[in-house]
Amino acid sequence: MKTAKGTDLESLRYIYAILCELRDMADAAPGGMLGYLIEMALIEASDEIRNLQSEQGATRQKRDSAA
């Protein structure tokens, strides 16, 4: 994403929430492939959120230790 880090995190959290809703809908539908693919997207979104939060925490620590 080509936005500010805070906006990235907000966007990823929104995407994650929407994917949760889509997964629930897909689970209720026949067939399993769509649900599986949405679950994979959920895992990826969760990993991206965790990575971005880690980056922000590291940046915050550097800034606080420099002060």
Residue 65 domain-assigned (yes or no): no
Residue 13 domain-assigned (yes or no): yes
Residue 63 domain-assigned (yes or no): no
Residue 61 domain-assigned (yes or no): no
Asked if 49 and 16 count as a contact pair (C-beta separation under 8 A), the reply is yes
Residue 66 domain-assigned (yes or no): no
State which residues form the domain around 45.
Answer: 5-56
4: how many CB neighbours lie within 10 A of its CB?
9
Q: Does residue 27 have a pLDDT over 60?
A: yes
pLDDT grade for 15, boundaries at 50, 70 and 90: very high
Q: pTM for this structure?
A: 0.74
For residues 35 and 33, give the distance between their C-alpha atoms in angstroms, rounded to a whole number: 5
Residue 62 domain-assigned (yes or no): no
Residue 47 domain-assigned (yes or no): yes
Total of domains in the chain: 1
For residues 53 and 3, give the distance between their C-alpha atoms in angstroms, rounded to a whole number: 15
Structure tokens at 54: 């880690």
